[in-house]
Amino acid sequence: MLVHHVTPDVTVLNDCLPVPGLGFLPVNAFVLHAAEPVVVDTGVGLPGRGFLDALATAVAPEDVRWIWLTHPDRDHTGAPHDLLEAAPRALVVTTFLGMGIMSTERPLPPDRVRIVNPGERLDVGDRTLAAFRPPLFDNPATVGFLDTGSGACFSSDCCGAPLPAVEDASVPEIGDSSVRDAQLLWAAVDSPWVHLVNQDAYLATIRPLRDADPPLILSSHLPPARDRSRDFFDTLALAPMAPAFTGPDQEALTTLLKSFEPAAP
């Protein structure tokens, strides 16, 4: 994992997954250096990713007070139990549904959970975190938040995009170039229901965020983006009209597997 200090308030713990045919998907967890430190998501569940070691370079694990699980998908739930052990005062922030989904693999200890639903706020000492349901999501337990201290928007899967190369997915901040097409592709991959929505109802979920104009968008699946929120939310508004995504078929998989076979001597 790479560790990027984006602002004095925010450290990014950056991992990356290759997605054949699409590119490289950043997988970010974050540390919000609030008076009561917050870890946002816990990396992928694959062995050897070094989440706790990377985290320890940003904050002493025993000081962590909150583990905000934006949603219990496996690219976000690599280490909640290890972190709960290392951080004896920490609580996992999730929803009742998130607790339920986690219980299908390894239950969270109920006395180590703080339920925060969209529309509610969490006090972390020197600021409050305003929870919201991102316009796009792939899990019904998804809850992002706006940090009322720094204005940063933690958007979970929303605003993500697969990028052409590992180097693109692991930069400390995304550059000025457009990622609109890649974000629309990701919207179709991650939230295929977006093609079925009532347009007005969908746009109403974007408007409050667009009006808030957060100076920093921190997506789980895009490098940190500064001063891009209007651009990003305008892109989200186009998602219902973007092409739908259908993954590779069996023939494509067979071709892919053949490409891995060593050439005949």
Question: Under the rule (CB under 5 A), what is the footprint of Fe ion?
Answer: 73, 75, 138, 157, 220
Closest chain position to Fe ion (CB): 73
DSSP 52: H
Q: Which is nearer to Fe ion, 19 or 256 (CB)?
A: 19
Contact 92, 105 (CB under 8 A): no
Q: Which is nearer to Fe ion, 147 or 157 (CB)?
A: 157
Q: Residue 59 CB, nearest distance to Fe ion (Å)?
A: 22
> Do the strands 66-68 and 153-156 form a parallel or antiparallel pair, or are they unpaired?
unpaired
Q: Residue 219 CB, nearest distance to Fe ion (Å)?
A: 9
Q: Among positive and negative, which fits the CA dihedral 134, 140, 143, 144?
A: negative
Q: Residue 137 CB, nearest distance to Fe ion (Å)?
A: 7
Q: Which is nearer to Fe ion, 157 or 168 (CB)?
A: 157
The H or E element spanning position 231 is helix 229-238
Q: Residue 140 CB, nearest distance to Fe ion (Å)?
A: 11
Q: Residue 220 CB, nearest distance to Fe ion (Å)?
A: 5
Q: Which is nearer to Fe ion, 128 or 205 (CB)?
A: 205
Helix (H, G, I), strand (E, B) or coil at 168: helix
Nearest to 150 by CA among 133, 130, 173: 130
Which residues have C-beta within 8 Å of that of residue 24, sequence separation ≥ 6?
Answer: 16, 17, 18, 162, 163, 164, 165, 166, 168, 169
Q: Which is nearer to Fe ion, 44 or 127 (CB)?
A: 44
Tokens coding 28: 């970010």
Q: Residue 26 CB, nearest distance to Fe ion (Å)?
A: 10
3-state SS string for 55-102? HHCCCCHHHCCEEECCCCCCCCCCCHHHHHHHCCCCEEEECHHHHHHH
Q: Which is nearer to Fe ion, 158 or 206 (CB)?
A: 158
